[in-house]
Each structure stands twice: as C-alpha cells, then as structure tokens.
Structure 1
Amino acid sequence: MPFEIFKQQFGDLTEYVIHESTTENRCVIIPELGGIVRQLSLRKNLTLFSILKSPPTPQSLVDDTQSANELLFPFASRIPNGKYKFLGKEYQLENNETGGLNAIHGLVRKKPFVIGEQSIEPDHASITLSYNIEKSAGYPFSVWFSVKYSLHSDGRFTLEYHAKNIGSELCPVMFGWHPYFVLGDEQTDAWKISIPSSQIVAFDSNQIPIGKEPFFLERPTLLYRKAFDNCFIVDNGSSNAVTELISENQHVTLRIDQEAGEGKFNYLVLYTPPARDCVAIEPLTANVDSFNSGDGLNILGTGDVIEGKITVTLV
C-alpha cells in the first residue's frame, strides 16, 4: 500500500505522520498539543508544497499564542470579557486573550488529545483523535469532541469534526479551524483570493459583531495592499463554500472547501498577518460571539451529535 502511519519525535513532542509514498503527500499531527496538524504537504505536478505555516521549533510551538493551525472548540474567536448568557444563566470564562480582555478560541487548545482509530486503506489513510470536555470553568457541560484527519490518494486532505453532548443538560457548541496557509516562498501580495461571500460582519473596536453589511469584491481579487481581519457569512444556496488562494506565478490554487448548510460551516474568518507571509483562512460553524448572539450557534441535547467536514486540495 502507498499509505503508512508512523510516529516520530519533534523535540519532546510525539508526532503522528500520515504519509503517501507515491506523491510524498503527508500530514503531521501532534496529539498532545491540542491535536493540531503541524505540517501539511501536498503535491501539484512536480512541486511538493508545504502549505501550513507553523512555529519552527518545538518550544516555539508550545509557546505560540497565535493559535497557528489549532482546533477551536466549543467556541471560536472572541467572547467579550469572557461573559455569556445561555438559557437565562450567566457564565464566566477565563479571559485568556493576550491582554486579558476577552475569552478566545475555546477550551481544547494545547490540551492532550487521545489517539483513537488509525486506518490505512488502498485509497486513503486516517487518524482520529478525541478530547472530553468535563464541566470546565465557565462551561459546565460535558461534551465528547473528536477530529478525524485523512489523506486521500487523489490529493485531498480532509478534517472531519464530531461533537456529542454526553451530559444531562442542553449545551452550546461552535467549532472552528485556524490554519495559516502559505504557497511556496511568495508573499501575500503576490496572491489572489476568491472569497465565497457577499456579506461581511461589522465589528466594534473590540472585534465583536454589531451587525452585517454587504460585501462586494471581485472574485478573485489581488491581495496586494489589502489587509483582512474579518468574519464573513458564506453565500447561501450550496452544500459547500470554496475559498481559493491563487498563485499565478506558480500555477497553483489552494482550495479550502467547507461544508455549508444547516448546522455546518456557514462563516469564515480571513486574517492577513502584518508580516504578509501567510493568510489565515478559518472556517467557522457560527459567528463571532455566538454564545451571546446565538448567530449560527448549535445547541445539543443529551446524546445529540453535530459534525462537519473541511477539505483542502491543490489544483
């Protein structure tokens, strides 16, 4: 079989690698550090692209505060002052954003995930990881959260998440993925992007939603001198939404396909860091601060499950 799964060390961290020998496609996963994908390499013709930007050393990865490639659950983005109200009750989360102003990006970041099923088939290989949230501070609910990473022989990488309420009360859940994408050694200004949205979320000075506005931008549009730190509502009418990051110089397009529709990934955050060397393209299942607004929020009863899939390809 062309696929294999093996372990290797990255300093004191243990990595699991899914590798496909025909193309050299691979993804490198660190279960003990929030179940993140540290490296994702995909081939386009003769070129093998490493398409995720990650901190370069084990210690810098442990110390990272920018959520590079992290899984964000049971909420993503900011909750102002860490306070939210759910079913008439008020809750207080830790204000863990730099500066201590807000709660940000959930409760599973840098937590040790448990390795579950590992599967090798002729046309794909996958690893499933999980983490139990058990009545954390400010989130007194019990949720089993898992993610399945797969590499496919046709060059697709897929991330499938699954969340189940294993407690006795209704619970709010939101999921997001926070990858920083690169295309070779080019800077952001050389790329074009196609954003599957005609509505943008209006933020206050604390980047908390205060409304929605029409969004008009040529598809694709050159990123030269454009800066984003915005949330978008993906266009309705399709079962998926595709963001494209395009390098015409390298004749390659990165496609991020997020399932859309009821309960799925109907929001998208884009961020261009000041260094202009990568783009964060972050599919979300709900709007920023949905724990307060309810905008896109999934509410699970006892035993209820919510799931969704993100697909990454090079064309």
Structure 2
Amino acid sequence: MAFEIFKQQFGDLTEYVVQESTTGNRFVVVPELGGVVRQLSLRKGLTLFSVLKTPPTPETLKHDTESASELLFPFASRIPEGKYRFLGKDYQLAKNEKNGLNAIHGLVRKQHFHLEEQLAHADHASIKLSYLIDAPEGYPFQVLFSIRYTLHSDGRFVVSFEALNEGSEPCPAMFGWHPYFRLGNEDVEAWKIIIPSDQIVTFDSNQIPTGVAHFHIDKPALLHRKVFDNCFIVKSNGPFATTELMSENQDVTLSVTQETGEGKFNHLVVYTPPERDCIAIEALTANVDSFNTGDGLYILPGGGMFKGEIVVKLT
C-alpha cells in the first residue's frame, strides 16, 4: 500500500488530496471552505465508487445552501429564532436559515480552517484541520474545533472531531456531519436502507422537536417512494451503531458507523432530497434544538474536551 497527500487548485480554492495508489481510494478536502470533504471515492471489487454528492464547481460549492458534507458545530439543525437559554442566561444567535427564521447548522460552516497536520503511513493517511470559535454573536465562548479525516488501507474513511473549551466557563456543544451519499448512477428508488432505531423524533411545522414516537420499518427497507426528513434516536447494543445503504443491483453496501454512548452520536438524521439522487445520513451527538431542551447536549467544561468519530466503508 502506498499513500500520498498532495494539494491542487479547485478554481481559486486550494484543496488537499489523500489517496492510496493501489486501490484508488481517495478523499479531497477544502480547508478554506469549512474543511468540507468535497470528494470521497471507495473501491468495491472492480468499481471505484464516488460516494459523496457535493456541488460540482468552486462557485456552487462556495454558495451551497444545502450544507453538503459540511461540519456542524457547536450545534446542528435548527434553533428556533436563534434563541436559547444556557445556565440561566439568554442568548441570541444570528438567524442564518434561508427564510431568516432560525439559526441553523452551527458556526464553522464555510470558515477558513487551519491545516494542522498531514500524515502518510504504510497503512493509513490523515489530514487534521482546526478552526477557533472566538466568541461570535450569540456564542460568547472560545472553543478550538478540530477535525481529522483518515483513510485506511482496508478502505475505512474515518471522521474524528475534537472540541477544546479554551475558556474557563462551561459552554454548550453538539456536533454533526452532513454528507449526501450516492451509489453509482442509481437513484434513491433502487436502494434499501437499515436505520438503527425504533424511535423517531416528532416535529412541529418549523422542524422543531415536540416529542418521540415509536418507529418501525423493515430492515432492510426499500426506499422506493419513501420520503425522509427525520431525526431518530439511535438504538445500539454496544459502543457503535451502523446505518446501511444497499444497492442489490450493484452488490454494494455503504456503511455509516457512529460511536454511541454518553457524549457520543446518539441521534441520526436521514433526509431524501427532492432530486432523489442521493440521501443524507447525518450522525448527531444531540437532538435538534438541544441548546434549549438539553436532549443529548454536551456541557463542555472550561478546559474540557469533547470528541467522537464516524466511519464510512463500502462492502
């Protein structure tokens, strides 16, 4: 196995490519645009699958409003009207959703990340990026957020995050990753999915949680004519839970495995966009609007660390 890391231009953006020469497995990351993974290619047999759908040009990537492959920190999904209360104090975040109603998807999207480290070994290669959240509007805390992307010789792609509270006061935190997955040229109708949950979060008309309901679906379930824009409470019998996306026609399964347990990824969003050519499988460390409800919210103490990982693989 031979791993290499090099940088190249994508329009006026600089991106880093990590690849393994024998298999062709590779990922491409853009530090200056929120540290997004722009491309992830993984091999199954004779076929190299490009498994992420992201905007195809530098300009469309810059102006993407669908959060393709974006890192969501210190909150994911919506906070109604951008308002939350934490430890007896009220805070107002910028209302950055398209309709101007809510705060959505955190404070690190499209920010310029710093390249901390790039490592190439015989059996894996990785890139580590970081961004300092320095008391922006509505979040008066200093948190060093970092992300490490690692490609292993067995085909595993690992997303590992860390958040270090550099202040002395506690702060609220949650993390989510927002990838849109695809399998070859098929659309959603042809795929099956296994969702590791039997509880679904109920939403109001503003996509804010109102409670929890029982959820039952075949395992695996055919996605034909099924529409998802839902958050689930993950069910796990161990330290991990896996969502599986399957194409029987192509004899390939994409697995998204998330750490579970205290302070880990105990929630999951599944979303089928109207185009029906991809599906979002988003591991979350807390429920939607956890800044207000506390449901899964991580209280990051002064000087404390918050971390977890997600693993993507083809079989």
TM-score, length-scaled by structure 1: 0.99
The alpha carbon displacement at 1:237 in A equals 2.8
- What residue in structure 1 maps to residue 181 of structure 2? 181
Q: Is the 8 A contact 2:196 2:236 kept in 1?
A: no
1:127 maps to amino acid: I
- What residue in structure 2 maps to residue 68 of structure 1? 68
Q: Write the distance in 2 (CA, Å) between the matches of 1:32 and 1:75.
A: 20
The alpha carbon displacement at 1:122 in A equals 0.5
Q: Write the distance in 2 (CA, Å) between the matches of 1:103 and 1:181.
A: 25
Map residues 154-169 of structure 1 onto 2, 5 A cutoff. Answer: 154-169=154-169
Q: Write the distance in 1 (CA, Å) between the matches of 2:133 and 2:167.
A: 10
Map residues 271-290 of structure 1 onto 2, 5 A cutoff. Answer: 271-290=271-290
Q: Write the distance in 2 (CA, Å) between the matches of 1:236 and 1:86.
A: 29
1:265 maps to amino acid: F
- What residue in structure 2 maps to residue 129 of structure 1? 129
Q: Write the distance in 2 (CA, Å) between the matches of 1:260 and 1:301.
A: 21
The alpha carbon displacement at 1:236 in A equals 3.7
- Describe the superposition over 1:109-138 as per-residue Cα deviations: whole angstroms up to 9, x where unpaired: 000000011111100000000000010100
- What residue in structure 1 maps to residue 86 of structure 2? 86
Instruction: Give 3-state SS (helix, strand or coil) of 1:136's partner.
Output: coil
Q: Is the 8 A contact 2:84 2:90 kept in 1?
A: yes
Aligned-pair identity (%): 68
Instruction: Give 3-state SS (helix, strand or coil) of 2:207's partner.
Output: coil
The alpha carbon displacement at 1:168 in A equals 1.5
- What residue in structure 1 maps to residue 3 of structure 2? 3
Q: Is the 8 A contact 2:159 2:311 kept in 1?
A: yes
1:126 maps to amino acid: S
Give every structure 1 segment of 4 or more consecutive aligned residues whose post-TM-superposition deviation is greater than 2 Å: none
Q: Is the 8 A contact 2:51 2:182 kept in 1?
A: yes
Q: Write the distance in 2 (CA, Å) between the matches of 1:301 and 1:254.
A: 36
1:137 maps to amino acid: E
Map residues 35-74 of structure 1 onto 2, 5 A cutoff. Answer: 35-74=35-74
Instruction: Give 3-state SS (helix, strand or coil) of 1:241's partner.
Output: strand
Q: Write the distance in 2 (CA, Å) between the matches of 1:31 and 1:275.
A: 28
Q: Write the distance in 2 (CA, Å) between the matches of 1:142 and 1:210.
A: 31
Aligned residue pairs, count: 315
Structure 2 runs not aligned, ≥5 long: none
- What residue in structure 2 maps to residue 150 of structure 1? 150
Q: Does 1:171 align with 2:171?
A: yes
- Describe the superposition over 1:213-268 as per-residue Cα deviations: whole angstroms up to 9, x where unpaired: 11011111000000000000000432001000000000000000000011000000
Structure 1 runs not aligned, ≥5 long: none
- What residue in structure 2 maps to residue 116 of structure 1? 116
What's the Cα RMSD here? 0.6
- Describe the superposition over 1:250-303 as per-residue Cα deviations: whole angstroms up to 9, x where unpaired: 000000000001100000000000110000000000000000000000001111
- What residue in structure 2 maps to residue 233 of structure 1? 233
TM-score, length-scaled by structure 2: 0.99
- What residue in structure 1 maps to residue 77 of structure 2? 77
